[in-house]
Amino acid sequence: MSTRLKRLYKITQTMLSYGLDEIIPAHWLPWSVRLGRHLLFWIPNKHKQQPAGVRLRLALESLGPVWVKFGQMLSTRRDLLPPDIANELAVLQDKVKAFDGQQAQRLIEKALELENIHDAFDDFMVQPLASASIAQVHTATLKHGDDAGTEVVIKVIRPDIRPTIDADLRLMETLASVLARHLPDGRRLKPREVVKEYRKTLIDELDLLREAANAIQLKRNFADSKLLYIPTVFSDYSRPNVMVMERIDGIPVSDVDTLMAMGVDMKKLAERGVEVFFTQVFRDSFFHADMHPGNIFVSRQHPDDPQYLGIDFGIVGTLNREDKRYLAENFLAFFNRDYRKVAELHIDSGWVPKHVNVEEFESAIRTVCEPIFNKPLAEISFGNVLVNLFNTARRFEMEVQPQLVLLQKTLLYVEGLGRTLYPQLDLWKTAKPFLERWMHEQLGWRAVIRSVKENAPFWAEKLPEMPTLLYDYLNTQRHQADYQQRMMLQLAEQQRQHAQQVWWGMITAAMLVSTTLLVVAKVAWFYPAATGAAALVSAWLSWRRKRSS
């Protein structure tokens, strides 16, 4: 508990020293919080000269890797942050001091059950090649098997990182609950949901077996592709905290000067980046969702026909068939400025509730998007259009799903990368033919033929069973019809008996009333007659009950 309080104080001290309390509007803070800020925490803002976004970035960097990655994730939620803060968070660098290489070697040996690292690897470099918040990478060469002599990188999770992550995540969840409860706009900002989403992403990144599986899937999707090369993962040497992968020799995609000096076709490189993204999303439904410049390289071979090299597959996104179709139709409707279609698609897909007025929604989309289209297409940000669309839809009760947030983030990365490589890139012109071709393949006669081919083995297996299944179905229907007829007859008989019971009940009631009146009138001959009539009625009713049963 004391450790947690110390960490909470450290976080509070850091936030106040960078003046992050000043970012929150004063009318959002209760008077008690404002008073406590001045009485209990006398720490002044030491960075008043810096803009708010810079102060927030510096504070997160000083708090450590968990908070750095949180800031990176927040930078993709432009619906929650002002543009200047979102842009500053986007430049957060996930680079931290490396931990001891000898300790990394011991972790690898323990994970792979080796007496010595050299039992499986040659040329192991104790000095890490790169270091990040979750893991660091060492180089080596495979020693045995068919792949002996292959240069590899060994990725190893930082020691004791999980307790640190768990502790900071618990504090984040506490702070999120406080913000959700006390901020006037807490419900819209959804701090609890943001932290929950971050927890899942971060925990997934700690499992290198998951990352290895993602890499294998992507490599299979782009086998023999000129667009993207995924390094080979050596599964026999991979564990939850260790992953061994082929070492690549590429140029960082952010090193534009070197790329241009090598004579790389920058226009083709930028366009292929867009094609890689749309291929992953619409063809494979499985996309690399962390495509920032640090994870993307360019092959040194064939500069006139450039190929991307990808690494770091801890975060991937998936889309189902319905999401893909609605996204493609939405994009094409935007290209054609068919805002009515966009509004209807959002409602049909379930992203926006059915009760939303489609005319009002269409008008809101037009209001946001028409000013954008007054610019030349080459100057329009595809990613920002998607952000504006989601922001508008959220006003109409749209709940953005996690896979759409990942898609938005990845599209922003891809577009920024493409414009860096080739500023004249017309993303719309590059994307529209791809989307039209995909829609044609999904909804045209080719889709029908492909569906028949895909289902042919299933139908070939079931066809011999069809006569038996048909006979069983018809036989069941006949028995069901007979059963329903018997039940209807039984119900009719019960209704008839009930009607008779009501009728005789009314006669009995009338006789009781008459009997009472005659007793009151003291008619002498009535007593024996009434007794005999009552006995007769009682006997008759008893006989009816026995017959009915």
* Crossing angle (nearest 10°) for helices 321-335 and 339-348: 170
Q: Is 497 annotated as a binding residue?
A: no
Q: How far apart are CA 448 and CA 440, in angstroms?
A: 11
Tokens of 267: 């226009």
137 marked as part of a ligand binding site = yes
Query: Helix count (H) and strand count (E) of the chain?
Result: 21, 11
Please count the CA atoms within 13 angstroms of the CA of 226 that sit on its side-chain side. Answer: 9
Q: How many C-beta neighbours within 10 Å does residue 314 have?
A: 23
Burial of 280-294, coded b for 16+ CB within 10 Å and e otherwise, reads bbbeebbbbbbbbeb
205 with 315: CB under 8 angstroms?
A: yes
Smallest Cα–Cα separation from 414: which of 330, 310, 492, 327?
Answer: 310
Separation of alpha carbons 442 and 451, rounded Å: 10
CA distance 406 to 123: 38
Lookup: tokens for 218: 């992507």
State how far the Cα of 360 lies from the Cα of 356, in Å rounded to an integer. Answer: 8
Determine the Cα–Cα distance for residues 133 and 170; give it in Å rounded to an integer. 18
Tell me: is residue 131 an annotated ligand-binding position.
Answer: yes
402 phi-psi bin (left φ>0, alpha ψ -120 to 50, beta other):
alpha
525: which strand partners? Answer: none
Q: Determine if residue 135 is labeled as part of a ligand binding site.
A: yes
Residue 504 token pair: 């005789």
Instruction: Write the secondary structure of 296-327 as one string of H (helix), E (strand) and C (coil).
Output: EEEECCCCCCCCEEECCCCCEEECCHHHHHHH
134 labeled part of a ligand binding site: yes
Query: Does the annotation place 442 within a ligand binding site?
Result: no
Is residue 316 within 8 A of residue 289, CB to CB? The reply is: yes
Q: What is the DSSP letter of 282?
A: I
Query: Would you say the C-alpha torsion 60, 62, 67, 68 has a positive or negative sign?
Result: positive
Q: Which two tokens stand for residue 7?
A: 């960490």
Asked whether residue 132 is marked as a ligand-binding residue, the answer is yes
Compute CA distances 116 → 120, 124, 126, whole Å.
Answer: 8, 11, 13
CB 172 within 8 A of CB 4: no
Is the torsion defined by CA of 525, 530, 535, 536 positive or negative? positive
Consult the annotation and say whether 48 binds a ligand: no
Phi, psi of 244 (to 5 degrees): -110, 130
323 in catalytic set: no
Q: Which of 79, 94, 168, 290 is catalytic?
A: 290
Q: 129: annotated binding-site residue?
A: yes
Query: Is residue 72 a known part of a binding site?
Result: no
Annotation: binding site: 129-137, 155
Which residue positions form the known binding site for ATP? 129-137, 155
| Active-site annotation, residues | 290
